[in-house]
Amino acid sequence: MSNVINWNAKGVSQQPQLKGKDFLSLSDFHTDEILYLLEEAKELKSLQKQGKPHPYLSGKVLGMIFEKASTRTRVSFEVGMLQLGGHAIFLSPRDMQLGRGESVSDTAKVLSRYIDCIMIRTFAHSTVEELSEHATVPVINALTDLHHPAQVMADLLTIQEHKGKLAGLKMCYLGDGNNNVTHSLMEGAAKVGMHISIASPPGYLPNGKITEKAIESAKLTGSKITITHDPIEAINNADIVVTDVWTSMGLEAETEKRLKDLAAYQVNAEICQHAKEDYIFLHCLPAHRGEEVTAEIIDGPHSVVFDEAENRLHAQKAILKNLLK
């Protein structure tokens, strides 16, 4: 589908035409499309809080493929689909021929005959891309080793709620920079005009191609992307501080090495003294207290991690509504 943005006479963006589009990474979306989805998420959240029914997707069915386990992703997508009036089907590798050797392309073609949208949480990003290539219904990336766009939509919604804006704010990420959260944060920040500074040790820097693409987006919005080995430089005067687990799923054999390599990048009270006094702390969860973040921070007054977790529901409902309605 074309990404052309239409403008009305007052210069305000019209509703983007997102129906049928895939949601694979934030780099695939224009600034206006991301901001529109955030406004939709706020509206859907308001309706839900007021107890007002909003069955925009009555009769629609979402198929949810999970090759990686999840708490927030499964519950938020399933509940979100039900609140929108539709239905969700959980599909694990044990439940599918995909787990017994059926090709991704055949799976995509078959599921497209049965359901209205495919959500997948998996390892290789190439799996999502292949699914997208062969499916005739929208495909949503609920996490791959390279990208976590649905999570970052919830992060942007949370920042907007607590800071009142996005453009011009400084976000700092400390820890393993070569992971899906960092990559999607870079892409999201660049699209909405936020500055982002990432501090990681040698060997843990973000993916080069993703970084280059984010820098190109940043040129259009005035965003600044800084990548450094110095955590104090990165966190200095930050409005938002973010981290993630040091050992992601599939990397458990590297745990001991990662604990040693990343120790200087822990988010704790000492380093957070360099952020702004009113900074907020984000973490996609689950968290390992005492490793990437101390309990004092994640359970302290600056933490908004449970608002962030809740906003997975509202951000994903906006995505589902606009891809399917």
Residue in 32, 155, 176, 244 annotated catalytic = 244
Instruction: Please state, in angstroms and rounded to a whole number, the distance separating the CA atoms of residues 77 and 316.
Output: 7
Contact 108, 118 (CB under 8 A): yes
Cβ neighbours around 89 below 10 Å, total:
15
**What are the CA-CA distances from residue 225 to residues 9, 200, 276 (Å)?**
33, 14, 19
- Three-state DSSP state, 177: coil
Please, what is the angle between helix 180-192 and helix 149-163, to 10°?
50
DSSP state for residue 15 in the 8-state scheme: P
Residue in 32, 83, 125, 151 annotated catalytic = 151
Annotated catalytic residue 312: yes
Annotated catalytic residue 151: yes
Residues shown for the chain: 325
User: How big is the CA angle at 77 (ends 14 and 294), to the nearest 5 degrees?
Assistant: 105
Please, what is the angle between helix 305-324 and helix 31-49, to 10°?
110
* Residues in CB range of 14: below 8 A, 6 or more apart: 5, 6, 7, 8
CA dihedral 288, 291, 292, 296 (to 10 degrees): 80
Nearest to 229 by CA among 263, 204, 272, 200: 200
**How close are the terminal C-alpha atoms of the chain, in Å?**
15
Residue in 72, 125, 147, 148 annotated catalytic = 148
DSSP state for residue 170 in the 8-state scheme: E
Residue in 22, 83, 116, 121 annotated catalytic = 121
Contact 36, 13 (CB under 8 A): yes
Annotated catalytic residue 272: no
Instruction: Please state, in angstroms and rounded to a whole number, the distance separating the CA atoms of residues 159 and 182.
Output: 16
Residue in 116, 239, 284, 316 annotated catalytic = 284
Which residues carry out catalysis? 121, 148, 151, 244, 284, 312
